[in-house]
Structure 1
């Protein structure tokens, strides 16, 4: 890596971003699974309520089922809240990585521009020297041809 070159650091940062985005995708899949489980629990409750309506003798066990259902829903809601906090933290981390990468890219662009200007300045100095040398030669040749020595 050349002195002042950030391309490797930028590449590593991009790899970190890709990995974090992959992990975020996994968390979103977990969130979708928890939401599906929540919908399943609601469907189960509706089915059991319908069963109780159809079979009044089942009403004696329904309060126990309802209490267990509420516990599962509460646990699921807590798991979903925890997962969403993790997702939010990961999004914050991802945003920070993007900001860092942008900083690196801007710094590298500035370095590249400075290097290009320096190279152009050196190239121009060489061209100026060549032009000056050619001008001196022409003057010297003209001076040899000029009997007055002007």
Structure 2
């Protein structure tokens, strides 16, 4: 019975590992989008400084700034759109973890019950040996 539970635990561990990998991929996509927003903000500041230093770049900067605002909005919307998928992946991972934990608790409970039963049988045997010894001593007296 314990072997079956151990196999089931390994199966649930594999499922949990797969759910973690799925979550990691989605989190990496979100991190990439956030990095792109950060890089865009840095680039915007850099271009703004260039435009201030060279008035010739001012018209190019305004076009870039307009594009950057649109790109930033698109990236933020992509992050927002990713949130349900991220939450779903977290839920699936939590569910896989809970299922693995239930099987581990079942295994632990069964092992404890087997141990208690074994100790009870050993005690019965010791009691029987003690009783037999006592009877022999009574016969000898």
TM-score (norm 1): 0.72
Deviation at 1:42, TM superposition (A): 1.5
Q: Which runs of 4+ in 1 moved over 6 A?
A: none
Deviation at 1:30, TM superposition (A): 2.7
Number of the residue aligned with 2:92 = 93
**Structure 2 residues without counterparts, runs of 5 or longer:** none
Deviation at 1:3, TM superposition (A): 6.2
Task: Measure the CA separation in 1 of the matches of 2:133 and 2:59.
Answer: 110
**RMSD of the TM alignment (CA)?**
2.8
8 A contact 2:19–2:96 mirrored in 1 = no
Q: Secondary structure at the match of 1:138?
A: helix
Q: Secondary structure at the match of 1:119?
A: helix
Number of the residue aligned with 1:132 = 131
Deviation at 1:117, TM superposition (A): 1.3
Q: Which structure shows the higher helix fraction?
A: 2
Aligned: 1:30 with 2:25: no
**Structure 1 residues without counterparts, runs of 5 or longer:** 143-150
Deviation at 1:79, TM superposition (A): 1.8
TM-score (norm 2): 0.75
Rg bigger for which structure? 1
